Structure 1
Amino acid sequence: MTAFLLKRIGIGFLTLLIASVVVFSVLEILPGDPALLMLGMNATPEALAAMREQMGLGDPVLLRYFSWIGGMLVGDFGRSFTYSSPVIELITERVIVSLPLAIISLILSTAIAIPVGIFAAARRGRVGDTASMGLAQVGVAVPNFWFALLMIYVFAVWLRMVPAGGFPGWGNGIWPALKSLLLPSLALALPQAAILARVTRSAMLEVLGEDYIRTARAKGMPRQYVLWRHALRNAMIPVLTIMGLQFSFLLAGTIIIENVFYLPGLGRLVFQAITQRDLIVVEGVIMLLVASVVVVNIIVDILYAVVDPRLRVRT
């Protein structure tokens, strides 16, 4: 198990290194002057010269790259020119919104999808299966911002059960903060639940045809016990894969939802940084999101080994 973990962590560090080179290189080869891009066409020559000096554009490329990487290793992501504050502070302020939003969305998605997938697999070809997968297909086809607008109208405007947008902050109490994240979490979770339900059904159908499932049924084990205890565990490998990908997407892909609900999260920060040409903020957030994807993939690989111990030997 130790060798398995070390191998996965080594691959994760290599991925981060390659991603840092790609992110830095893409911004390096962008046409135009980065200082002019950030300050705009009306900037004075003195302001442009000061910006170039502040960004270190006169230094060699390798020196700038290693300086950037070295700063991130000690928690220095640079300083935002738009907000006039360290990037790490901006990220810290926003991640306490985006991370709970992603976690709640993943919990809701899993709680909806796995029972629906098992239900559909156990009733293959019957009305329940057709209805469940039909609804799942609708969930896959409909974008999450449409669900967001629909839920704002129903639960915030019509029923007045939850706020339509904004975030009161965790300092004003856990329940008001969670209440403001409920609708955006559900809007993010529904399309992901539809995808996960279809994957769960397919994986369960493949497992339910195995000999050990027929043997368990022949021994007189209760049907629900066979489904949840034997079939589900052996069908979890593809399900865990999708869950890992979904969490990364939920953390990194919340730009539209956070703007719809006016949430001060990472997605909204990236959107504002792009529109304001604050490239330093964009670099820092992208590397943070890449690191989160790497960490989630390592956790998923560990869960693979927990679910199926044979993978520890193979890898």
Structure 2
Amino acid sequence: MTQTTALRVRASRARSLGGLLAVRVLGALAVLLVLSVLIFSLMYLAPGDIVKNLLGNRPTSPEAVAAIREQYNLDDPAWMQYLKWLGAFVTGDLGQSIRLQVPVADAIASRVGITMLLCGLAFIIALVVAIPLGVHSAVRAGGWTDRTGNVLAVVGLSAPTFAIGLLLLYVFAYYLRIFPVYGAGDGGLDTLWHLILPAVTLALGLGAIIVKLTRTAMLRELETDYVTSARARGIRESQVRRIALRNAAIPIVTGASLVLTFLVGGTVLAETTYALPGLGTLLQDSVLFKDIAVVQSLTLLVAVVIAVIALLADLAYLMLDPRIRRSGGRVA
């Protein structure tokens, strides 16, 4: 193959992969568009009068009602209200919180740091513990490590997040007094120390899924012909396991990326259990007080984050699987 032909093949593959990624981006945008319609409809699906729901506990007066109707464009047709709301969301104007009396963007910005730190810490703990445990469970299938890993995975998958949180609070915060009971601390290492128990609470459920993914992927690779051939040629077992793990990394990485969405639902319960001032408690309080502007914006933001995670998982799959790179988006 000449150099010119090789360059053409590479360019063709790049265009194919770019086209495949563009299709997935458009698909994600279409899903987000549908979700935005459903989320905007929350204002109309809530029981009671829209204006009274938006006013909440504030005194009702003709001036207040008129201000609310103007702020939310309630005198316009529903489709025009939706377009104005979506246009404002895209430009960063998330509206005004009725309960907090601050812009929604400011309310979210003041709490997003705690939630991101909590999710990041939980994800790191889950990866550091679950991947080695899953690999060892596959290598020692049927042994005590495998049985222990399966028991922990079942507990992590079946136990509710709030139940795990309360148990850890009782043992490590109340009985042993190692960790603080609630709150986010005073910043820096103190905040990190306050987030360890909530992160472990979330990591148990997330890690259980990753353990299962890792064990299944490793078992499949260890039973393949190339592993048998490598062992027959006298290659060290540790090197064989590294090769198998490298090939098993494709489903592990993509699966771990997708199960990050587990943190979205779990964070609400964990932050409530540990009284953390994050996005989870903000969403819960906003639902209870019918702060619709916050609920709409935060729900759509969560949907955007999940869509981005799914796209990154697709991108990781495309980058890790050489078959897709060679075939330009089609698995050979």
TM-score normalised per structure 2: 0.86
Judge conservation of contact 2:165–2:201 (CA < 8 Å) in 1. Answer: yes
Other-structure match for 2:77: 60
The alignment-based identity, stated in percent, is 37
1:72-111 map, 5 Å: 72-111=89-128
Q: Which residue of 2 aligns with 1:295?
A: 308
Answer with 299-308 or 24-33: which moved more: 24-33
Q: CA deviation at 1:80?
A: 0.6
CA apart distance, 1:197: 0.7
Q: How many residues align?
A: 311
1:38 maps to which residue?
54
Which residue matches 2:237?
Answer: 223
253 and 144 in structure 1: CA distance in 2 versus 1, 3 angstrom threshold: closer
Cα distance in structure 2, aligned partners of 1:25 and 1:38: 14
CA shift in 2, pair 1:70/1:40, >3 Å: closer
* Partner residue in 2 for 1:176: 190
Distance 1:302 1:245 in 2: 12
Change (3 A) 1:161 1:31: closer
1:157 aligns with 2:171: no
Q: Could you say which residue in structure 1 is the equivalent of 2:275?
A: 262
- Structure 1 gaps, min length 5: none
Query: Quick check: 1:114–1:200 contact (8 Å CA) kept in 2?
Result: yes
Q: Aligned partners of 2:261 and 2:147: how far apart in 1? A: 30
Quick one: which amino acid aligns to residue 187 of structure 1?
A: T
* Displacement after TM superposition at 1:26 (Å): 4.3
How far, CA to CA, are the matches of 1:186 and 1:8 in structure 2? 33
Hey, what does 1:314 align to over in structure 2?
329
Deviations along 1:228-280, one digit per CA (max 9) or x if unpaired, are x3222322333234322332221343111101111011100000000000011
Shift of 1:29: 4.4
Q: For 2:166, give the aligned amino acid.
A: L
Q: Cα distance, 1:9 vs. partner?
A: 2.6
1:277 maps to a residue whose letter is K
Pick from 172, 180, 187: which aligns with 2:201? 187
Superposition deviation, residue 62 in structure 1: 1.9
Code of the aligned partner of 1:255: V
Please give the residue correspondences for 1:111-130 in structure 2 after superposition, counting only pairs within 5 Å. 111-130=128-147
- Partners in 2 of 1:93 and 1:44 — Cα distance? 29
Distance between the aligned counterparts of 2:246 and 2:37, measured in 1?
A: 39
- Of 241, 253, 263 in structure 2, the residue corresponding to residue 240 of structure 1 is 253
The answer (yes or no) to whether the contact 1:106–1:246 under 8 Å persists in 2 is no
Indicate conservation of the 8 Å contact 1:252/1:289, yes or no.
Answer: no
AA of the residue aligned to 1:18: V
Cα distance change on mapping 1:120 and 1:175 into 2, 3 Å: same
The two structures, once aligned, show a CA RMSD in angstroms of: 2.1
Secondary structure in 1 matching 2:100: coil
Could you tell me which runs of 5 or more consecutive residues in structure 2 were left unpaired when the two chains were aligned.
1-16
What is the deviation of 1:31?
Answer: 4.8
Equivalent residue letter for 1:16: L
- Tell me the CA shift for residue 94 of structure 1: 1.1
Structure 1 position 193, deviation (Å): 1.0
Aligned pair partner of 1:143 in 157, 160, 163: 160
CA spacing shift, 1:197–1:29, aligned 2, 3 Å: same
Counterpart of 2:263?
A: 250
Judge conservation of contact 1:98–1:251 (CA < 8 Å) in 2: no
**In the TM superposition, what whole-angstrom CA distance separates every residue of 1:41-94 from its partner, at most 9, and x where no partner exists?**
996352444423332111111221111111111111111111111111111111
8 Å CA contact 1:233–1:307 kept in 2: the answer is no
| Residues 69 and 42 of structure 1: CA distance in aligned 2, closer, same or farther (over 3 Å) | closer
Q: Does residue 1:28 correspond to 2:41, yes or no?
A: no
Amino acid at match of 2:260: F
Report if the CA contact (8 A) 1:36-1:43 is conserved. no
Structure index of larger Rg: 2
In 2: Cα distance, 1:125 partner to 1:160 partner = 37
Distance 1:62 1:181 in 2: 43
Q: Which runs of 4+ in 1 moved over 4 A?
A: 40-43
